Amino acid sequence: EAEVAQSPRYKITEKSQAVAFWCDPISGHATLYWYRQILGQGPELLVQFQDESVVDDSQLPKDRFSAERLKGVDSTLKIQPAELGDSAMYLCASSFHAPSDTQYFGPGTRLTVL
């Protein structure tokens, strides 16, 4: 069964350093989502792509976060510089096309900022 791939699974970094997360969605899925999940809370949408275009990045802290999906397939989320409050699980999900389509989530990247 096809899965959403994410790497790395775990990342420990010091504050002010740069970090990057990678996501490979299920083949053929046009929509890609990046979420941040703080322990004990539900996932919070950071950015949503439709193919290579950003549909929504209203919750993305753009002074330090950036996301790209250059060829409309895999995607990278970057944080520079990392802050202590960025410690969280970063989840990637993809769906076929329409907003009501089922989202398939990856295993996530657990980020710890020291």
Partner 1 sequence: DAKTTQPNSMESNEEEPVHLPCNHSTISGTDYIHWYRQLPSQGPEYVIHGLTSNVNNRMASLAIAEDRKSSTLILHRATLRDAAVYYCILRRGETSYDKVIFGPGTSLSVIP
Q: Which residues are near partner 1 by CB under 8 A?
A: 4, 33, 35, 40-45, 48, 55-56, 58, 91, 93, 98-100, 102-108
Alpha helices in 1-114 (DSSP H): none
24: left (phi over 0), alpha (psi -120 to 50) or beta: beta
Return the amino acid letter for 60.
Answer: L
Query: Least CB distance from residue 111 to partner 1, whole Å?
Result: 14
By beta-carbon proximity to partner 1, the closer residue of 5 and 20 is: 5
**Nearest residue (CB) to partner 1, 48 versus 75:** 48
Report the residue number, 10 or 80, with the smaller CB distance to partner 1: 10
Cβ–Cβ < 8 Å for 37, 89:
yes
